[in-house]
């Protein structure tokens, strides 16, 4: 089989790395890829948002299966377009990708079909939004731009003044363009976050091992939100009870809901959950694999991934057995460039990649790198995802950080507390946000 992975991040390196191990993969291509994907696949200089270029590449190379990594091309309809030309595609079409592309669509779908989530109201008029925020019973609240905003469209205001400024910047100043013309105002949920990724062809679900992402930039969950500064798998909040509820009440209901709405969904359904005292509640859906969750999840997958991706794409997931997992936990530590997440330096030489890759049971996934001659350079915000397995979380963590310590480039930043044990006495339900709810 000839397989094309679309995208250039750490998630795509992890996908290409795992796909390349499959005896079913005769050739693996990546568009556009990075210096890491070039080690396991053939990179092609076609951007993930260049639908014409990708369509031509699929034809020229007689690709059998396309795996689309990032959300933007899915929301823009790349999967529909490629399916029309007869290739098997892993990733939902534009109607299914609305689950991530419109937070209002996804909230309405959850409400209609009884999927547990925080209560919310949406607005397309800034004065109405402000009036509602002025009368809101309690802060913090959550304000979300409806559309795609590269992970930056969520604010957690603690006062009416902050909330008002946030809706103003989204709805009037158009900080996120059209994505922020409509906003969702949501209840603030307390708990520990959990990312549950599942493969689905619209009928069958294969739930992958649950992971936890670390969204904040700095240690102790401080600093701005990022695309994710690390992950580990399995997630501590994923108790058997939590996973049973997440599967039955969130994943199965959502797959049924999509089918009942007449929407075909073939790809990864990513439920970003808050594990609350009363069970899981959906914070968001993504229509693709998570980044950096995928890195931590795939190093634990012992089964061949290709049959699952292909069966998802052609609607035959029900024919496969459940995948087999390495019982050992994994930890992924992201190394980012100077300035991330506000801006990001690029073009710095990265040293120590080989030495880091020699740490046992460790893979250095590239997230934003390019190769110039025999040097590997940084090429954006999140540069690497150093991912290790260990007999327990502490051992995996130690290995990941041992490998991180061998890597060097100017201005590199990383968190030192990925997958660290909670401080004594800390409640897992206290993590993840301000502790005080102010009544107004
Ligand atoms: P999202 O882009 O929807 O995943 O939101 C980004 C981050 O904001 C999440 O990972 C949470 O940490 C936080 N967040 C979003 N929605 C809520 C909510 N309703 N309650 C508490 N925190 C939230
Ligand atoms: N790690 C969060 C995401 O992939 O959206």
CATH number for the domain spanning 177: value is 3.30.1490.20
pLDDT at position 208 is: 98
Q: Answer yes or no: is 9 within a domain.
A: yes
How far CA 56 is from CA of 73, 75, 189, 417, in Å, comes to 16, 20, 45, 44
Contacts with 330 (C-beta within 8 Å, 6 or more apart), sequence order: 232, 233, 296, 297, 299, 300, 387, 388, 389, 390, 396
Ligand nearest to the CA of 186: 1
DSSP 65: E
Quick: pLDDT tens for 310-363: 999 999 999 999 999 999 999 999 999 999 998 888 999 999 999 999 999 999
Mark whether 81 and 141 lie in a shared domain.
no
Mark whether 21 and 92 lie in a shared domain.
yes
Arithmetic mean of pLDDT over the chain: 93
pLDDT at position 426 is: 57
Mark whether 28 and 89 lie in a shared domain.
yes
Is the distance from the beta carbon of residue 193 to the nearest atom of ligand 2 less than 6 Å?
Answer: no
pLDDT at position 136 is: 80
Name the domain boundary from 99, 131, 148.
99
Looking at the 3D structure of the chain, how many domains does it have? 2
Tokens of 379: 């090429």
Mark whether 124 and 72 lie in a shared domain.
no
Name the domain boundary from 165, 187, 209.
187
* Of residues 279, 278, 228, 221, the one with CA closest to residue 250: 279
Is the distance from the beta carbon of residue 290 to the nearest atom of ligand 2 less than 6 Å?
Answer: yes
What residues make up the domain containing 170?
Answer: 119-187
Q: Answer yes or no: is 126 within a domain.
A: yes
pLDDT at position 433 is: 40
pLDDT at position 440 is: 31
CATH number for the domain spanning 39: value is 3.40.50.20
Q: Which of 61-65, 217-221, 364-368 has the lowest mean pLDDT?
A: 217-221
Q: Answer yes or no: is 74 within a domain.
A: yes
Mark whether 65 and 35 lie in a shared domain.
yes
Please state, in angstroms and rounded to a whole number, the distance separating the CA atoms of residues 22 and 177. Answer: 42
Q: Answer yes or no: is 369 within a domain.
A: no
Quick: pLDDT tens for 150-209: 777 898 999 999 999 999 999 988 899 899 999 999 999 988 899 999 999 999 999 999
Ligand 1 is surrounded, with C-beta below 6 A, by: 118, 142, 144, 151, 154, 186-189, 193, 215, 225, 272, 283-284, 432-433
* Of residues 15, 4, 101, the one with CA closest to residue 50: 4
């Amino acid at each position: 089989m000839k397989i094309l992975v679309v995208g250039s991040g750490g998630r795509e390196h992890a996908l290409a790395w795992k796909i390349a191990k499959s005896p079913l993969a005769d050739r693996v291509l990546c568009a556009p890829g990075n210096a890491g994907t070039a080690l396991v696949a053939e990179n092609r200089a076609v951007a993930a948002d260049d639908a014409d270029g990708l369509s031509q590449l699929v034809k020229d190379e007689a690709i059998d299966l396309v795996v689309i990594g990032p959300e933007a091309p899915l929301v823009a309809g790349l999967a529909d377009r490629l399916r029309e030309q007869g290739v098997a595609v892993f990733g939902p079409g534009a109607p299914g990708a609305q689950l991530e592309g419109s937070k209002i669509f996804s909230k309405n779908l959850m409400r209609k079909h009884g999927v547990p989530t925080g209560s919310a109201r949406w607005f397309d008029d800034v004065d109405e939004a402000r009036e509602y925020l002025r009368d809101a019973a309690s802060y913090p609240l959550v304000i979300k731009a409806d559309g795609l905003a590269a992970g930056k469209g969520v604010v957690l205001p603690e006062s009416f003044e902050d909330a008002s400024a946030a809706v103003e910047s989204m709805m009037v100043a158009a900080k996120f363009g059209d994505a922020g013309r409509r906003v969702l105002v949501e209840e603030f949920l307390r708990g520990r976050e959990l990312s549950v990724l599942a493969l689905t062809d619209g009928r069958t679900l294969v739930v992958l091992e649950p992971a936890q992402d670390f969204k904040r930039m700095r240690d102790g969950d401080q600093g701005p939100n990022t695309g994710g500064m690390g992950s580990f798998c399995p997630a501590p909040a994923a108790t058997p009870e939590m996973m049973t509820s997440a599967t039955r009440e969130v994943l199965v209901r959502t797959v049924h809901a999509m089918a009942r709405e007449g929407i075909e969904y073939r790809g990864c359904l990513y439920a970003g959950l808050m594990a609350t005292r009363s069970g899981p509640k959906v914070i968001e859906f993504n229509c693709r694999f998570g980044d950096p969750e995928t890195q931590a999840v795939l190093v634990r997958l012992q089964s061949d991934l290709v049959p699952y991706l292909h069966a998802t794409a052609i609607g035959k997931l029900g024919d496969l057995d459940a995948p087999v997992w390495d019982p050992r936990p994994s930890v992924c530590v992201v190394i980012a460039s100077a300035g991330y997440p506000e801006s990001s330096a690029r073009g710095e030489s990265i040293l120590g990649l080989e030495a880091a890759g020699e740490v046992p049971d460790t893979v250095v996934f590239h997230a934003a790198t390019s190769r110039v001659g025999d040097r590997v350079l940084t090429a954006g915000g999140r540069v690497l995802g150093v991912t290790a397995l260990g007999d327990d979380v502490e051992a995996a963590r130690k290995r990941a950080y041992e490998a991180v310590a061998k890597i060097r480039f100017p201005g590199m930043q990383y968190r030192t507390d990925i997958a660290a044990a909670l401080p004594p006495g800390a409640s897992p339900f206290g993590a993840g946000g301000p502790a005080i709810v102010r009544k107004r």
